[in-house]
Amino acid sequence: MYQPQIDLATGQMLGAEALIRWKNSQMGDISPAQFIPLAEETGLIGSIGHWAFMESCQKISKAENLPPDFCISVNLSAKQLKNPGLIEDIQEILETTGVSPLNVEVELTESVLVEDPEKVRDVLCRMRDIGLRVAVDDFGTGYSSFAYLKKFPISKLKIDRSFIKDIPHSSEDVAITKAIIALAHSLGMKVVAEGVENRDQVEFLILAQCDMAQGYFISRPDHLPNIRHMYDLGIF
Ligand code: C2E
Ligand code: CA
Ligand code: CA
């Protein structure tokens, strides 16, 4: 499934995050929060991650009427980042699907970035060199080290939805969200608010000059062909 990310200045859909789904005939829908950690333990994450990347690229290569700078975001797990053949795998997928790396972004959580900073920096630089963008997922929840923000080629911070949930009522969350937006902008990065569920949050984020938003208020994860027409959400 794909969840749109909209530009808070114009309401345009700038991209979408690919969120994997597993439908089991006996157990029904199984959440990625349950099976991704299992896949990491068993080593299946390599093939699942490859499938998710390939599927996302095929989807945008076939979709019609997407803006030329539309960006698909794909989540990468810690184990995938350790695969020495990761960049070659990604390049091969981009070549076979004919998708430009400029239309693809990878999402990595903070904890992944700080695990082995030297190695991670090397992989991120290789990603940047082939034209891929990198977003930091769930920003603010990991063992943050601001040092990596200046050392690593990162183009976007995604504010974790736990900070967005009680906005605008929680003065602490308001302060944290404003600080993350200021930090991102002063480092030349874009900032996305995750888990946006109501109009009050959107209004706050527009005033706070957050660049983009993603969440149930805008759209639940959906099929890409159904969400591509959502340029005017009636919230601006
Ligand atoms: P995430 O990357 O933080 O993805 C956002 C999660 O928040 C998604 O859950 C999404 O459906 C949910 N969400 C979006 N908007 C809202 C909202 O307004 N309110 C609330 N309460 N939730 C919202 P989902 O799809 O269950 O995915 C859970 C996690 O599983 C993801 O968290 C990500 O860490 C992981 N995941 C999903 N797909 C992949 C994948 O292809 N590869 C890897 N490695 N991990 C994945
Ligand atoms: Ca994500
Ligand atoms: Ca997230």
DSSP bridge partners of 157: 136, 191
What pLDDT shows up at residue 106? 98
Query: Radius of gyration (Cα) for the chain, nearest Å?
Result: 17
Q: Evaluate: CB of 236 within 6 angstroms of ligand 1.
A: no
Q: Average pLDDT by consecutive 10-residue portion of the chain (236 residues)? A: 94 94 89 93 95 96 88 95 95 97 96 88 96 95 81 96 98 98 97 97 98 96 69 54
What pLDDT shows up at residue 235? 56
Pocket mutation for ligand 1, best pick of 75, 136, 198 (most atoms within 8 Å of C-beta):
75
Amino acid at site 187: L
What pLDDT shows up at residue 223? 87
Q: What token pair was written down for 214?
A: 């993603």
Nearest to 198 by CA among 157, 160, 168, 230: 168
Q: Evaluate: CB of 127 within 6 angstroms of ligand 1.
A: no
What pLDDT shows up at residue 186? 95
Find out whether 147 and 119 touch, Cβ atoms under 8 Å.
no
Atom of ligand 1 nearest to the CA of 196: 18
Q: What is the pTM of this model?
A: 0.95
Find out whether 208 and 178 touch, Cβ atoms under 8 Å.
yes
Q: Evaluate: CB of 3 within 6 angstroms of ligand 1.
A: yes
Atom of ligand 1 nearest to the CA of 77: 44
Alpha carbon dihedral 180, 182, 188, 190, in 10-degree steps, equals 50
Q: Evaluate: CB of 221 within 6 angstroms of ligand 1.
A: yes
Helical ranges in 98-142 per DSSP H? 110-115, 117-130
What pLDDT shows up at residue 143? 73
